[in-house]
Amino acid sequence: MKKLFGTDGMRGKAGVFPLDSKSIRTVGASLAEHLTQKLGRPPSVVIGRDTRESGEWLEASLTEGLISFGAQCRSAGVITTPGVAFLTRTLPADAGVVISASHNKYQDNGIKIFAPSGQKLDEETEQQIEADIYSGDAENVNDDSVHAVNNTGSADQLQQRYLDYLINNINERQTFSDLSIAVDCANRAAYSLAPKLFERIGAKVTLINCSPDGRNINRDSGSLHIEGLQRAVVKERADLGVAFDGDADRALFVDDEGLFVDGDATLWVMAQALSSRGELSTSTVVATVMSNIGLEIALREIGLRLVRTDVGDKYVLEELLRSGASLGGEQSGHIIFPNLSLAGDGLITTLLLLRTMKERGASLRELTTGLKRYPQVLVNVKVKGKVPFSEIPNLMQATLRIEKELGGNGRLLLRYSGTEPLARIMIEGSSQQEIEAYAEELARVIRTAIRVD
């Protein structure tokens, strides 16, 4: 039985298993049934979606399955993923569901389920839902119990509740009337919320990619295509620009000169800010193995520590909760402040960055100084089998020698792709020519042992 839920929910082409109407109806019925068994009462569920053309009928199918087992459903309409996580935690609801495929093309869609804590659904319940989908239990929902959706609290009211939280609790009612911001909403979930938020805090706002039609989602826009935002910042002479991904759990920035500011640079700025206020627990920042070694070195030079995890916000969050650290994230712009939210939230990240600029009286460009990005090379080697690296002749010997030569100013990472027959070699160091030579040396060793003819 193929696993349907990945680290970021269940995704696929809308209308095709497991994102067909019957399967999604089963997801709703199964979730309601298992929550009822656990709680001893029918659950309450809040649902949000992005702007894909498939979102409405997927929400209708999900809701039909949920209410067939007595669940009380509340629709928040088009809203960000962290917005649903917030509502799930504070309404409170017994579960929150987001219908979105983040940065994927518009033909795709997906389902993410949150627990009341704001964390993603536990693996055991995901496995139970998967088993119900494969067993065809969509035919067994309680059709007699289906009734109209209980929309106590309209979508507008739920969205307003989230906006009020951002303005009153996160922004602490600060105003930024002297600030000019260019905002790229990727024609996605933040297209309505982001403009309202930044206008309410007094900023002058220039909007791009903020007219969704169901199909232009992520099209040459947002955090995957930062070039349009860079042009807008320069043209409008904005103080900074922010680009959100599809469901706005990530944010990437552009400074006043149009230069790109990624998640590593954001972590660097926020680590300094939290540390100066005595709010950086354990003097530690959590990032993934893909963060540039320049971030690790810069933090080390001011007495802070970087802890790395596997790629994925799920693993960053697990380490934050395990260690008690108060800041973590990914190079992709997914930043987590666990004391505020267990879900990455691009709107929260932006507000905290603006607060830091105001407190320091500095531009984003000035705040990112001190972070030196080291050259990086990534080589993919096609392989016929994923043999443990330790079993490849001469590879470990070469790896240990290169790591020693790189010293504290370089980094080497070997890993297999999770979805393709590829061995990935990533090396960072002070010399581009040197790391390219090292990477090609390791690639030759791997090709010799397990190359594809």
Residues involved in catalysis: 102
Query: Cβ of 134: how many Cβ atoms within 10 Å?
Result: 14
Query: Cβ of 323: how many Cβ atoms within 10 Å?
Result: 14
Which residue reads 């007094």 in tokens? 202
Cα atoms found within 13 Å of the Cα of residue 295, Cβ hemisphere only: 29
Contact assessment for residue 111 and residue 97, using Cβ atoms and an 8 Å cutoff: yes
Omega prior to 421 cis, within 30 of 0:
no
With 0-12 CB in 10 A as exposed, 13-18 as middle and 19+ as buried, what is 124?
exposed
Which residue reads 């969704």 in tokens? 212
Q: Is the dihedral of CA 185, 190, 196, 200 positive or negative?
A: negative
Report the Cα 184 to chain-centroid distance in Å: 16
Phi, psi of 257 (to 5 degrees): -100, 5
Residues contacting residue 212 through CB under 8 Å, at least 6 positions apart = 51, 187, 188, 191
Q: Name the 3-class secondary structure at 208.
A: strand
Determine the longest span between alpha carbons in the chain, in angstroms.
70
Q: Name the 3-class secondary structure at 415.
A: strand
- What single-letter amino acid sits at 195? P
Which residue reads 């019925």 in tokens? 29
In this structure, what token pair is assigned to residue 358?
């105001």
Please name which of 128, 197, 215 lies closest in space to residue 159, comparing C-alpha atoms.
Answer: 197
- What single-letter amino acid sits at 390? S
Q: What is the 3-state secondary structure (H, E, C) of 321-334?
A: HHHCCCCEECCCCC
Residues contacting residue 407 through CB under 8 Å, at least 6 positions apart = none
Which residue reads 């007495």 in tokens? 303
| Angle of CA points 326, 330, 333, to nearest 5° | 100
